[in-house]
Amino acid sequence: MRVAQGRFHGKGLSFNTRMYEDAYPGPTLRVNPGDKLVIHLENALGENDPLNNCSQALDALYTICVPNTTNLHVHGVHVSPTQDNVSVTVSPGHTHTYQFDIPTDHPTGTFWYHPHHLPGDLIQQLGGMSGMIVVEDPDLVKTHPDMAAMGESILVLQKVAWCRNDSDPCGFDSAGHVVHDGSYYFPKVSTIYDSLMPMDPHPEDWKDTQYISANGQYQPTLHLKAGEIRNLRVLNAATDLELILHIDLACSAWLLATDGAWRDTPEALHGNSLVPGNTVVLSIADRTDVAVMCPHTGRFKLESKPFNAAQTTYTGHPAIDEHSMIVNQTVMWIEVAATEEVHSFQKLPSKLPARPSWMDDLISFPADQLSAHRSVYMAGVPSVVDASSPYNYTVLNNVSYNGDFSIFPGVNRVEEWLLSAHPPGCKVREADPDQCDLDIYGNGSSVALDIGSSHVFHMHTEHFQVVRTDPPDAPGLDFKVGEWHDTLLFGHNSPDVYIRVNLANYTGDVWYHCHYMKHAVQGMIARANVV
């Protein structure tokens, strides 16, 4: 798979960017359990600018270091961390061969790949370097004929946004949004942000543009027949954007899987106090499998919705700044044609493919057999105290990543982790309740931390199960208790989330971090050495 400069042609603009196989997004990879996936990753990008080989990962000017150095991460795929090794460096002009041994009992489902070489992966992902991986079941016709009869459509969602006025991109500020820096809006023409790849010689010809592309297209059309059930494999590859996707109420929709993990049975999208009916929320890097059926002919919308008041309260201030679009957008049209057959409605599967034994239900796992209880707290160190401002750096459990291992779990052991945006003992500042003071260095001097943000927890190699929340029964924005995920959003006013994970089958480095990759680049990342 070749990484090289390519050109994206979109609505209102076209620009140069880094691509897999000259495609935006990259090609979909399909494998079966038991396969060996071999990828020869060729880096055909130009050399890095010596001026951008900076020692600081992401400095105050948002200079991206080594933006032409890359590697590959198979997100959500359960393979050995020695094979999915994000410490590999593939420099310009070099090739690295990855070999991923897919387990014979690997769950079938929706996964993806993207670069993970910090810090250059930030601009590479913003530029569209990502693609879907589908693990298929060759025996599906025999084991789940209703599933086999249901067609599927790939839907890779990415952000296309460029605004002429950096001080108020596309009217964001006037709509009440907090905008920290124009570099959130890709592509940015500034040579500071990317000195190696001028986006376009004539950006004066561009129009202010902000939309969600679907498979690289602006508002494509999905064709269905009345009564046909289609599985939408949806990936949020927008890098720094939460998505609230609403399917027209004229159609029916059921949740089949989260982050590549099948539910036991399809669940109708009835909604709750946070999420309306026929709606799914995808935080950064989330995937969902959603079955859609429209009983009548017509033209219907799949829309991206802005955060409402309750959702904004849940997440904290990022819900109303660069992490969401501010207007309703049509992401895709669903064109439903008549069918000649009478009573031709497909049958919804009553049972979905089984998860492997190492993903058995953990809610009922005996508490006295848990190997460890751990906590993950994420926060940023703001550049301006008592004001919403960019981070100088970020911390995970009060540490900005320094290369050391953080924990040493045992293989094939079950652990329970708490995910929270509120570090214990952090004293809320009176002038700004979105910040608190904590002695993170143990030297008697407090540091102001931002606790008003949301973060996206991602664990490599393993899936985890949400087992409870505090307060109990509090709804989640992109999760429900009992679901399996590898990526999960938690925010300023979200409940504390308790997860359990079986560190199954593999020893080695298991990374966990905020998948808003700018936060990871700034230090919100850690690694466990599973022994």
Grouping H, G, I as helix, E, B as strand and the rest as coil, residue 140 is helix
Which residues is 337 bridged to in the sheet? 225
Tell me the CA distances in angstroms from 30 to 6, 229, 353, 423, 461, one per residue in order: 24, 22, 17, 41, 18
Average pLDDT, the chain: 87
Per-residue pLDDT tens for 300-316?
999 999 888 888 888 87
Determine the pLDDT at residue 207. Answer: 61
Question: Which of 182-186, 339-343, 465-469 is least confident?
Answer: 182-186
In the predicted structure, residue 34 carries a pLDDT above the cut 80: yes
Determine the pLDDT at residue 357. Answer: 95
Tell me the CA distances in angstroms from 446 to 203, 362, 439, one per residue in order: 45, 38, 4
b/e map of 167-188 (b: 16 or more CB within 10 Å)?
A: eebbebeeeebebebbbbbbbb
Determine the pLDDT at residue 175. Answer: 46
Determine the pLDDT at residue 58. Answer: 45
Question: Which of 3-12, 244-253, 431-440, 498-507 is least confident?
Answer: 3-12
Distance CA 149, CA 380 (A): 48
Copy the structure tokens of residue 170. Answer: 């596309």
In the predicted structure, residue 272 carries a pLDDT above the cut 70: yes
Determine the pLDDT at residue 211. Answer: 84
Residues 6+ apart with CB under 8 A from 322: 172, 177, 179, 180, 184, 185, 240
Per-residue pLDDT tens for 501-526?
999 999 999 999 999 888 898 899 99
Distance CA 122, CA 112 (A): 16
Q: How confident is the model at residue 16 (pLDDT cuts 50, 70, 90)?
A: confident
Determine the pLDDT at residue 124. Answer: 87
Closest CA to 124 of 69, 179, 42: 69
Residues 6+ apart with CB under 8 A from 482: 361, 363, 465, 466, 467
Please say whether the structural domain 357-530 has been given the CATH code 3.40.50.2300: no
Grouping H, G, I as helix, E, B as strand and the rest as coil, residue 179 is coil
Phi/psi at 171 (nearest 5 deg)? 80, 15
Q: What is the DSSP letter of 142?
A: H
Determine the pLDDT at residue 192. Answer: 37
Per-residue pLDDT tens for 199-256?
555 555 556 667 899 999 999 999 999 999 999 999 999 888 889 999 999 999 999 9
Share of the chain above pLDDT 70, in %: 85
Per-residue DSSP letters for 327-370? S-EEEEEEEEE--SSTT-PPPPPSS-PPPPGGGS--TTS-GGG-
Per-residue pLDDT tens for 45-88?
988 766 555 554 444 334 566 788 999 999 999 999 999 999 99
* Segment 459-471 mean pLDDT: 97
Determine the pLDDT at residue 196. Answer: 56
Closest CA to 304 of 326, 321, 271, 288: 326
Q: How confident is the model at residue 126 (pLDDT cuts 50, 70, 90)?
A: confident
Determine the pLDDT at residue 67. Answer: 80
Determine the pLDDT at residue 153. Answer: 97
